[in-house]
């Protein structure tokens, strides 16, 4: 784990943050010796994307889709996510936006003497950060891969963030309750039926699905600081590339690969396809892909075989001209 500390960091809303800590991890070949892949984590994720405990280790590693023998890979922690350091939280979290997060990422890359990126990839919140990174520097990324996300927070996203914020304000088990609600957004009725089949725990009246939800609530409480969760929840509603850069579509030189999930009830495939159509209308280089799954939004953390097949053409040869 490495870190960069920014002092007196001015946010988009003109508020100055006394200190912003940007931690990150590196994988694969040394920086500036191979094409660079930036991997952005989702709401409860972190910079541990590869290795034994990596949350995307089925995609990232030696001879895997994102091959550590071929690429340099960097994964930043969203400032304030509290990973490995509970003190790295942000009290005035509503002052932060994904524009600020993307700006911090770019400043970190600048200090590492990186100006051009082969690929920025991320799912959900991580994909939204990828959009913001492209809006800030529309000529600096060769391939942008936002998965199960969109370039602007929808009314549905904003509404659910409001519900999450309300649950997090309760005195009684706020993290557990917020996580239980979130899990129902990230999965589908079909996914739960497939997993539990209406069964109860042996010799009890407790349904397996209830145990599963309670387990996820407790698990999150044990590894996540509530202030960090409040920040991450808030950030989801702050995506809007056209506020970041009104000329985004005219300036964009990135090849964009948008990936939707057909059963996603959080970021719907319909709205992501509309984004693709808008990009095509403006003659932007873009491709649309769809993961077929019963598992809803979380499919980008489950359907690794499909993801590998979709991503393989981009990462197979490190081609920087497509």
CA–CA distance, 118 with 102 (Å, rounded to integer): 17
Q: Is the pLDDT of residue 181 over 80?
A: yes
- Convert the pLDDT of each residue in 191-208 to its tens digit: 999 999 999 999 899 999
Q: Which helix (H) or strand (E) holds 75?
A: strand 72-76
Average confidence (pLDDT) over 62-66: 96
Q: CA distances (Å), 237 to each of 25, 125, 199, in order?
A: 26, 10, 36
CA–CA distance, 48 with 114 (Å, rounded to integer): 21
Domain ranges (residues) in the chain: 2-152+239-315, 156-233
Q: Is the pLDDT of residue 85 over 90?
A: no
CA–CA distance, 264 with 161 (Å, rounded to integer): 16
pLDDT at 82: 85
- Convert the pLDDT of each residue in 228-237 to its tens digit: 999 999 999 9
Average confidence (pLDDT) over 33-41: 97
pLDDT at 86: 62
Average confidence (pLDDT) over 92-106: 97
Q: Is the pLDDT of residue 76 over 70?
A: yes
CB of 119 within 8 A of CB of 141? Answer: yes
Domain 156-233 belongs to what architecture? Orthogonal Bundle (1.10)
SS (H, E, C) 163-223: HHHHHHCCCCCHHHHHHHHHHHHHCCHHHHHHHHCCCECCCCCCEHHHHHHHHHHHHHHHH
Query: Residues of 1-20 as b/e, b for ≥16 C-beta within 10 angstroms?
Result: eeeeebeebebeeeeebeeb
State the average pLDDT for the chain: 94
How many helices (H) and strands (E) the chain has is answered by: 11, 10
pLDDT at 99: 97
For residue 111, the tally of other CB atoms under 10 A from its CB is 11
Q: CA distances (Å), 13 to each of 27, 193, 230, in order?
A: 34, 45, 19
More confident residue, 283 or 225: 225
Matching fold, domains 2-152+239-315 and 156-233: no
Residue 169, token pair as written in the block: 């304000």
CA–CA distance, 133 with 251 (Å, rounded to integer): 13
pLDDT at 318: 60
Give the pLDDT band (50/70/90) at residue 83. confident
Q: Is the pLDDT of residue 113 over 70?
A: yes
CA–CA distance, 80 with 118 (Å, rounded to integer): 27
Which CATH fold topology does 2-152+239-315 show? Rossmann fold (3.40.50)
- Convert the pLDDT of each residue in 247-292 to its tens digit: 999 999 999 999 999 999 999 999 999 999 999 998 789 999 999 9
Question: What percentage of the chain exceeds 90 in pLDDT?
Answer: 91
Q: Is the pLDDT of residue 320 over 60?
A: no
Q: Is the pLDDT of residue 322 over 50?
A: no
């Amino acid at each position: 784990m490495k870190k960069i500390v920014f002092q007196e960091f001015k946010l988009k809303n003109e508020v100055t943050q006394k200190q912003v800590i940007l931690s990150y991890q590196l994988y694969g070949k040394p920086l500036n010796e191979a094409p660079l892949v930036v991997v952005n984590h989702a709401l409860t994720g972190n910079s541990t994307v590869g290795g034994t405990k990596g949350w995307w280790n089925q995609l990232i590693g030696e001879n895997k889709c994102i091959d550590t023998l071929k690429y340099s890979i960097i994964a930043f922690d969203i400032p304030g996510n509290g990973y490995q350091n509970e003190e790295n939280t942000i009290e005035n979290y509503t002052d932060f936006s994904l524009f600020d997060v993307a700006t911090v990422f770019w400043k970190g890359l600048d200090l590492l003497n990186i100006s051009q990126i082969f690929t920025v990839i991320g799912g959900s919140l991580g994909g939204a950060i990828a959009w913001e990174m492209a809006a800030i520097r529309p000529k600096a990324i060769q391939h942008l891969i936002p998965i199960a996300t969109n370039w602007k927070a929808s009314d549905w996203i904003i509404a659910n963030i409001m519900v999450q914020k309300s649950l997090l304000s309760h005195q009684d088990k706020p993290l557990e309750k917020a996580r239980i609600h979130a899990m129902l957004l990230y999965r589908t009725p079909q996914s739960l039926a497939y997993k539990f089949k209406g069964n109860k725990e042996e010799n009890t009246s407790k349904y397996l699905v209830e145990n599963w939800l309670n387990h996820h609530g407790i698990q999150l409480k044990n590894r996540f600081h509530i202030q960090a969760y409040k920040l991450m929840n808030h950030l989801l509603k702050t995506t809007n590339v056209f506020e970041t850069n009104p000329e985004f579509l005219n300036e964009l030189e990135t090849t964009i690969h948008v990936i939707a999930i057909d059963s996603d009830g959080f970021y719907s495939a319909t709205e992501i396809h509309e984004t693709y159509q808008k990009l095509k209308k403006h003659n932007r280089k873009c491709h649309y892909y769809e993961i077929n799954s019963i598992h809803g939004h979380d499919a980008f953390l489950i359907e690794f075989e499909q993801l590998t097949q979709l991503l393989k053409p981009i990462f197979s040869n490190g081609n920087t001209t497509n």
